[in-house]
Amino acid sequence: MGKLTRLHYTLLDDLISERGEEWMFETLMEGSRRGMTLKEIADGLGLKWWVFREWVEENCAGKIGLADRERAEELEKRSNNQIETAIGETLAVDKFKVEQWMKLAGKLNRDRYGDKVEMKVTNTHTFDIRGLLAQREARLEALAMEQVPVTIPTEVRNEVSV
């Protein structure tokens, strides 16, 4: 690790020790909920983004997921408000905004807003072949027991040519 990188880690450590880890989590969660990237949050704190991202990934990856789910709910609310206030003149733009927000919400919270994979069952007919197999076996046994006279038609000719 170089001197400059060590300096940036020291700045992060000083900030956390001065304000507390809970404050850092809260700042991270609030920024993420507002749609800020980790780089924007780091810039606001005077930190380098790669140092901040590494700290986040090591210490609070689950909290980012929580903030993402909250952001998805806010995007849904924003979409609903946009739909309610839509007017004819800007309908295409409003529709585009709503679709984009819901697509982003789907990426932030796949369980609730993401694309659902639906499997449609089109053939629900079933049947039991055990009865058919038993019938086949009975026919084969009957054929095996049956004595069928075998006659081979033969014709004997006695032709002599001179």
pLDDT tens readout for residues 85-126: 888 888 899 999 999 989 988 888 888 877 766 667 777 677
Q: Comparing C-alpha atoms, which of 29, 28, 60 is closest to residue 45?
A: 28
Residues 48-69, mean pLDDT to the nearest whole number: 84
Q: Beta-carbon neighbour count of residue 19 at 10 Å?
A: 13
What is the model's pLDDT at position 17? 92
Which two three-digit tokens encode residue 13? 């450590």
Could you tell me the pTM of the whole model?
Answer: 0.53
Q: Binning pLDDT at 50, 70 and 90, where does residue 18 land?
A: very high
pLDDT at 19 over 90: yes
Q: Comparing C-alpha atoms, which of 76, 69, 4, 77 is closest to residue 33?
A: 69
What is the model's pLDDT at position 71? 84
**Neighbouring residues of 47: CB distance < 8 A, sequence distance ≥ 6:** 8, 11, 12, 15
